[in-house]
Chains A and B, each alone.
Chain A
Amino acid sequence: MAYRTHCLICAGTGCVSSRSYELSKALEAELATRGLADEVQVVRTGCQGFCAEGPIVIVQPDGVLYHTVKQGDVPMLVAEHLLKGRPYKKLMYTPPKEQAPVPALKDIPFFAKQKLLVLRNRGLIDPEQIDDYIAADGYDALAKALTEMTPESIIAEIKRSGLRGRGGGGFPAGIKWETCRRAGQHRGVEPVVICNADEGDPGAFMDRSIIECDPHAVIEGMTIGARAIGAQEGFVYVRQEYPLARARLQKAIEQCREYGLLGRDILGTGVTFDIKIVQGAGAFVCGESTALMASLEGKVGEPRAKYIHTVEFGYHDRPSNLNNVETWANVPLIIRRGAEWFASMGTGDVSENPWGGSTGTKVFSLSGAVNNTGLIEVPMGITLREIVFEIGGGIPKNRKFKAVQTGGPSGGFLPESCLDLPVDFDSLSDAGTMMGSGGMVVADERQCMVDAARFFIDFLTEESCGKCVPCREGLRRSMDILSDITQGRGRPQDVDVLTEIGDVMQDCCLCALGTSAPYPVLSTIRYFRDEYDAHIIHKVCPAGSCKELIEYVIDPATCDGCHACVNACSVDALTGKVKELHKLDQAKCIKCGACVEACTRDAILTRPRHAEPEFAVVRSAR
């Protein structure tokens, strides 16, 4: 019997951690008890992107979305919606600023503004079933590429589509493929294709989610690329921290071998190609092309100078074509639906030159101070404002927006005045940041921008491989200076020194880790210079967050002596009798903030510690 209803349960890493596997088992059991097992199918899909609200269950064809579904909700959900057809209000999502729950997926602002190409199958198929992928037009593009197209015409199609590398660099994929193919022919050496799934940016999970929701799209893209370039061997370099993605990809590769979609004589066309998964050990620098290839060869993951390109001499000195997961996943769609269709989305004109614009969509992982954190796919050219305030649902607790960082840990911060910039490769780089692989972190008024720069420089200092001097020493010195500034030891010349170090690093570092590492510093100096000056000259942190520059005080007008702060304090800095004004001993206080969280009245204030009176603004610490 055909299934009338499909319960699509999100089985991305986020929802799996929120026990979506157990939920799906409970749902299947309840359906069986109710005699609905033949009518209603439970499908475990890839990440729906709405990670903050997981586990997510979508009921189709009704298009109803349920969020934070617990096992205990299953009996009512089945009885009400799946048996009697009454959508179950209790589990529906209410967007911020709305009063009533919104039943339909398509009406929730988080989803309504998105455009799904790469993630098209995320709510449609079970990523572990190859037949599901084939049913959703999977491997149609491969059949077309192998039977109706020549390698040259595949490359021409990709060039005309304007597809640019989604891993950060934005290099046109078609040009890269063409160079690699020519290098192989010229030298008589068989090229290799490599998929970069070493997503090391903290808080970024685009590539992981793409593999988890649609591993076959990556395989299909790579196979088409291999055919165009003339490769018979492919690698996916995936980081060790992604066990679920790796398992799904491995399963997909095995299914493909069984179906003859990988291996010898693919689809009876005589083409040979196979893919091997290689596990990275979690070094951030291994996402860089030359370091990645060194690691693939079993050497230490360090980059090398690139006056010789990897497309000519890469993995074991073979011509090597490296593209990121998202780039590969775009390929089948372009081949199936055509370059013109793809180029019709986005900004600029790529009809003559793939450098002329940014086409298609981009996947971002949205995190930080927004109501809807999660994974989103948007057309190129959308504004940052639409992403932060419409899809992201704005800033929690009605706080003020301060900055958004794009491009991962080495990306720059953009202030409110840049919110109407279109999101594409060229606009972002003109504004002093980059597209990167698609991390997007939002900061609210509570975030100190000097401290934000320090945080990311700290990460990059840890992850710098240390091979080239500008990166190794430049990051360490930047880190020292930023720490001094945030701890009240800033000197007037610090900003100039930071700028000079940044300029040298951009010019002289061996790889993109080093050349992009100064972005957090340079962009915050460019847009938030006043904060640097406040720290250095007045020893004030305007956001009230740098611990060395603030102290907590109790507001006598608000404190009702509830004692919650005294119980929360781990160093006995707070004293006082119940229902009397409490006292805070500055000598003991370590500014951990536990009392601020515990206070029932918002009575703990922050004020600058060293400042002259005119800068001594007192404000809520919360």
Chain B
Amino acid sequence: MPRVTIDDLKRIREEARQTITSRAGVGRARVTVHMGTCGIAAGAREVMAALLREIETRHVVDVLVTTSSCAGLCSHEPMVTVEIVGQPPVKYVDLTPEKMATVLERHVLGGLVVAEFALARGSETTA
């Protein structure tokens, strides 16, 4: 790469924001894809891939993506849990890559729960 200008520095910083947010572990929202054996068999990997692709194309910089094990409701996999800081988590069930894109757009970015895909508001308490 040739000599950089101050604008180039800003551009590099902007492009890498998602990486830095994710490595620092602090974001505005967290999407957890349930990746148990049942989830993977039902297509959780494809859902995850779709989610990451959407995050890339939309230049989303403040959303963390994590995985967790089976949520216990194996018949409704693939499932994800969306947690926006300061709001109760929402679980989505029977997802497909297309539905995942919709959830990202309307809930994670838009702030409105996509009621037709949602299982319930809230999450089990863990002690």
Contacts and interface: CB of A to CB of B under 8 A. Distances in A.
A139 B25 contact: no
Interface stretch (B46-54, B99-107, B118-126): B46-54
Interface stretch (B66-74, B88-96, B108-116): B66-74
Nearest to B37: A84
A41 B22 CA distance: 11
Nearest to B64: A61
Nearest to B27: A61
A199 B109 CA distance: 50
Given A62-B66, A84-B67, A2 B52 contact: yes
Interface string B1-39: 111111001001101111111111111001011111100
Interface string A1-37: 1111110100000000000000000000000000100
A60 B24 contact: yes
Contact of A143 (B6, B12, B21): B6
A134 B9 contact: yes
Nearest to A81: B67
B52 A1 contact: yes
Contacts of B34: 85
A340 interface: no
A258 interface: yes
A21 to B, nearest CB: 20
A39 B56 CA distance: 12
Contacts of B56: 1-2
Given A84-B35, A84-B36, A259 B1 contact: yes
Interface in A511-558: none
Contacts of B3: 259-260, 268
Nearest to A120: B24
B112 to A, nearest CB: 23
B23 A123 contact: yes
A63 B25 contact: yes
A83 B33 CA distance: 10
Contacts of B40: 83-84
Interface centre among B19, B34, B56 (most CB of A within 10 A): B19
Contacts of B18: 2
Contacts of B42: none
A4 B56 CA distance: 11
A140 B22 CA distance: 21
A300 to B, nearest CB: 41
B84 interface: no
Contacts of B16: 131-132, 134-135
Q: A interface, by DSSP: helix, strand, loop or mixed?
A: loop
Q: How large is the interface on A (under 10, 10 to 19, 20 to 34, 35 or more residues)?
A: 35 or more
Interface in A125-150: 125, 131-132, 134-137, 139-140, 143, 147
Contacts of B55: 2
Given A39-B48, A86-B69, A267 B22 contact: no
Contact of A134 (B5, B13, B48, B52): B13
Nearest to A83: B35
Nearest to A140: B9
A131 B13 CA distance: 8
Contact of B66 (A35, A61, A134, A259): A61
Contact of B69 (A1, A84, A131): A84
A278 B86 CA distance: 53
A143 B9 contact: yes
A263 to B, nearest CB: 9
A135 B15 CA distance: 8
A490 to B, nearest CB: 57
A193 interface: no
A82 B69 CA distance: 11
A124 B53 CA distance: 23
Contacts of B25: 60-63
A5 B32 CA distance: 12
A85 B24 contact: no
Instruction: Select the residue from B3, B17, B21, B66 with max chain A CB neighbours within 10 A.
Output: B3
A1 B53 contact: yes
Contact of A1 (B21, B30, B49, B66): B49
A1 B17 CA distance: 14
A85 B35 contact: yes
A615 to B, nearest CB: 57
Contact of A260 (B4, B22, B49, B53): B4
Nearest to A143: B6
Contacts of B20: 124, 135-136
Contacts of B37: 84
B24 A124 contact: yes
B19 A4 contact: no
Nearest to A129: B16
Contacts of A147: 6
A124 B4 contact: no
A135 B12 contact: yes
B68 A4 contact: no
7 closest Cβ pairs, A-B complex: A85-B67, A260-B3, A135-B16, A4-B65, A61-B25, A85-B68, A61-B64
Given A6-B23, A39-B48, A61-B66, 9 more contacts: A5-B66, A5-B67, A39-B52, A61-B21, A62-B66, A83-B35, A132-B19, A258-B2, A260-B3
